[in-house]
Amino acid sequence: MTATAVAHPNIALVKYWGKADAQLALPATGSVSMGLDVFPTTTTVTLDGAAGTDSLVLNGGAAPEGALLRVQQFLDLVRDLAGSADRAAVVSENTVPTGAGLASSASGFAALATAAAAAYGLDLSERDLSRLARRGSGSATRSIPGGVAVWHAGDDQGSYAERVPAPPMAMVVVTISAGEKAIGSREAMRRTIATSPFYPAWVTSTTETVGEMLDACAAGDFTRIGELTESNALRMHATIEGAFPPIRYLNARSVAVFDAVAELRTAGTEAYATADAGPNVVVLTKPEDRGAVATALAGLGDVIESGTGPGARVVRSEGT
């Protein structure tokens, strides 16, 4: 059996920051995202009953040991579900430009979950596929449905992502730094929970914001969606900066993009900034404004425009 799947990254409008259960990858709060239509990951999983171990090729080269281990642990979950002992060869092509600063784990584990489920003959609903992707990486949960999606907090059964109705939206990715981030989000989440005095307030306020965001999406209220997006991103960064030792992802050039976005609003163009675990900034716009926003921000970094993207899907499968 072999299956190939494609998945896209997503950018959170209401952020996921911290787990309630690391083993089951249950988030401390819900989150809401927009899927992108750029930077797909394409992953092929081929079962090999004769192989003694799983293998992983990333962008044509041997994968780092840590990445292979994470993929093997994920495939163990799939094998448990399928009742199979077969090892697999995994080949993954990630089109995120080096240093774009968009986490590849969301599209990566969404594509892997989709391809592996098909290759191992699991017939999973979208909900169960998103629960499975969650075990690979939290943000991958939201790349299964694509579009504008909510990832529910809850127990193992209840923590999945699904699409929600929303107005047409676009994003402009502003890449500031090609450098590796100083500290990975997994470790940074742990440190934030353990040491930031602001973390309990983050959980309380974000839980509230998820509800407000879903209301704004259902109402098609782009302005409210944008205001909540920028506010929630800054609250996340404030919470992370409250950790000890402190973690600061935004740099002076990131802040310059937030300022430029505020100036765009003053000048009458609706745009709202957000940022994840790194210095790059992503700007939420209306589809009709994305070109103008990209032009206005072009001097501050490399800009790439994106519309709202599709969910993960199998593009090829063979065998019996």
Q: Which parts of this chain interact with ligand 2P0 (CB under 6 A)?
A: 12, 15-17, 25, 31, 103, 105, 137-139, 185-186, 276-277
| Cα–Cα distance measured from residue 68 to residue 49, given in angstroms and rounded to the nearest whole number | 19
With contact defined as beta carbons under 8 Å apart, do 257 and 283 qualify? yes
74 CA to centre of own chain: 17
With contact defined as beta carbons under 8 Å apart, do 118 and 124 qualify? no
Looking at 83-221, list the stretches that DSSP marks H as alpha helix, in order from N- to C-terminal side: 105-119, 126-136, 140-143, 185-195, 199-219
The least CB distance from residue 292 to ligand 2P0, in Å, is 26
The least CB distance from residue 2 to ligand 2P0, in Å, is 26
The least CB distance from residue 52 to ligand 2P0, in Å, is 28
Nearer to ligand 2P0 by Cβ, of 42 and 139: the residue is 139
Closest chain position to ligand 2P0 (CB)? 138
With contact defined as beta carbons under 8 Å apart, do 257 and 229 qualify? no
| Cα–Cα distance measured from residue 233 to residue 239, given in angstroms and rounded to the nearest whole number | 10
With contact defined as beta carbons under 8 Å apart, do 290 and 172 qualify? yes
Could you check whether the bond before residue 245 is cis, i.e. omega within 30 degrees of 0? yes
44 three-class SS:
strand
10 CA to centre of own chain: 4
Nearer to ligand 2P0 by Cβ, of 165 and 184: the residue is 184
Nearer to ligand 2P0 by Cβ, of 44 and 274: the residue is 274
Nearer to ligand 2P0 by Cβ, of 20 and 292: the residue is 20
Nearer to ligand 2P0 by Cβ, of 2 and 141: the residue is 141
Terminal-residue alpha carbon distance, the chain: 6
Nearer to ligand 2P0 by Cβ, of 186 and 248: the residue is 186
The least CB distance from residue 12 to ligand 2P0, in Å, is 3
- How many angstroms separate the Cα of 128 from the Cα of each of 56, 91, 137, 181, 312? 24, 23, 15, 32, 13
Q: Which two tokens stand for residue 15?
A: 């952020």
The least CB distance from residue 240 to ligand 2P0, in Å, is 9
Nearer to ligand 2P0 by Cβ, of 24 and 178: the residue is 24
The least CB distance from residue 128 to ligand 2P0, in Å, is 18
Q: β-strands 281-285, 170-175: how paired?
A: antiparallel
Read off the DSSP letter of residue 225: H
Nearer to ligand 2P0 by Cβ, of 1 and 58: the residue is 58
Read off the DSSP letter of residue 289: G
The least CB distance from residue 108 to ligand 2P0, in Å, is 9
The least CB distance from residue 320 to ligand 2P0, in Å, is 34
